[in-house]
Amino acid sequence: MEARVSSGVLTKTQSPFSSPLRGRKLQSLRNMSTLPNTIHNHQFSNASLYLRSTFSSRTHGFKQAIKDDSREFELSSLTALSPLDGRYWGKVKDLAPYMSEYGLIYFRVLVEIKWLLMLSQIPEVIEVPSFSAEAQSYLLGLIDGFSMDDALEVKKIERVTNHDVKAVEYFLKQKCQSQPEIAKVLEFFHFACTSEDINNLAHALMLKEAMTKVMFPTMDKLVEAICKLAKANASVSMLSRTHGQPASPTTLGKEMAIFAVRLSRERQEISQVEMMGKFAGAVGNYNAHIVAYPTVIWPQIAEQFVTSLGLKFNPYVTQIETHDYMAKLYYAIIRFNNILIDFDRDIWGYISLGYFKQITKAGEIGSSTMPHKVNPIDFENSEGNLGKANEDLTYLSMKLPISRWQRDLTDSTVLRNMGGGLGHSLLAYKSVLQGIGKLQVNEARLSEDLNQAWEVLAEPIQTVMRRYGVPEPYEKLKELTRGRAVTKESIREFIEGLELPEEAKTHLLKLTPHSYVGAAVELAKTVDSAVNVINGSEVLETCR
């Protein structure tokens, strides 16, 4: 499907993905300024009263400027209510062809046409004979050639019908009047369908395409970037911190590898969620279908139709598909996002410790008042947007599976917000990728911390003492290290005084905070194998 959305400023008629306030029902922002003209505090100083008067006059001018503006605050990147449609549009617009009002209309058109083609293949439905190659090509051309102008035409019809799905039906009838074969069966568009037969399949296809074409490739790039970070720093020793205190050393690469594997595991879980669809009429029983054509096995036809679209068939439904798969999908994305929040915070902390420097760009400003600062803004932006995404996705997961009796309309308006959670997630993923690209490991700082943490060798020393039966090893090391400055010399002196075999003693004397990293190096170097095992035969081309 070709996206017909321009990359610049959008007009009122174009329908971006993240907010129905912007796409479906934008109101004038003329009355956006409701700033008070009176401040009820009589204890203000004369200076405050002066500022209040100046502020009032300025806001009056602002209101007048809005009133006089001939553009009437038409929709643009500067007037969008959602930052996804404004400030961040350039980073998330890849989702727009799938998650927008345009995308919804497109997939409704696709479902309606595919259903008519399916009817033409059912022998008992003699009123819709098999279409010629020319007629089939014409119908498929309406899908392949669907444009922004077509979507606008549907919206124009909707202004009369006040029903968005019916507007699609009327649009298709208009388009097909000139094709003789199809013109004879126009009333079989939307045959035996409730609006939700069309909508649920359209929503499932929107999600499937958005995940396949946009979200998964970006998730894979993210895992790949962290894999590369892990392998590049597999041997870079680093002081661990448990409870914020110095702990047994690790390597920077191994700590990055953990996140690559965790994210890969959740990415795989997300890909296993099956997008589901129903096509069973007004209350899920094929009532109208069976009355019209009693001999047709409609549940079988419905299953064939839904699966032909690449979706999983749900046979037990009311008027709506139950949305349980959506909850499963969104919760899986939330888990992926939570792991990434953990990553963001760890990287933020490592930057704070000086373990990472950030490559700067000419002209960039870190702080408006402190020239020396280079803030970890990419990881902060990511963390904030992941939180917003999870909030949106949590609400969708909790609300959508709940519908009164055979259906209520509360899901309809909520489903229009599907793009928000994906949009904020995508923005966060791209922010992390940008941030990783700026990272530069500061090995000198990492080494400095290790050189000041000889106490971490208390663990291996007391463990070897246990092996050889030295009494009270833990207690002896506790007395040596807790609350005292521990140096290389004091550790060596302690080891040399132990009653241990010379081989064991020699091995302990060779230990340093830099070398005491266990299997961390190997774990980091083999992270690609771990990621590929998780993904089975569908190996991600990430860490090779």
Positions annotated as catalytic residues are: 243, 367
User: What secondary structure does DSSP assign to 99-138, as a single string?
Assistant: HSHHHHHHHHHHHHHHHHHHHTT-TT-TTSPPPPHHHHHH
Q: What share of the chain is helix, strand, coil (3-state, %, to 5)?
A: 60, 5, 35
Cα–Cα distance measured from residue 333 to residue 325, given in angstroms and rounded to the nearest whole number: 12
Task: Tell me phi and psi for residue 399, to 5 degrees.
Answer: -85, -45
- Could you give the angle at which helices 195-210 and 418-438 cross, rounded to 10 degrees? 0
Q: Which 8-state DSSP code applies to residue 284?
A: S
Q: Which of 93, 85, 91 is nearest to 19 (CA)?
A: 85
3-state secondary structure of 242: strand
What does the block give as tokens for 449? 């911390």
What whole-number distance in Å separates Cα of residue 112 and Cα of residue 486? 75
Q: Are 94 and 214 in contact (CB under 8 A)?
A: yes
Task: Label each residue of 291-315 as H, E or C.
Answer: HHCCCCCHHHHHHHHHHHCCCEECC
Cα–Cα distance measured from residue 501 to residue 161, given in angstroms and rounded to the nearest whole number: 91
Q: Cα separations (Å) of 73 from 11, 18, 65?
A: 11, 19, 11
Q: Which residue has the tokens 């017909």?
A: 4
- CA dist list (Å): 387 to 16, 47, 226: 22, 41, 21
CA nearest neighbour of 194 among 312, 115, 84 = 115
Instruction: With beta carbons less than 8 A apart as the criterion, state whether 395 and 480 touch.
Output: no
Burial class (CB in 10 A: 0-12, 13-18, 19+), 353: middle
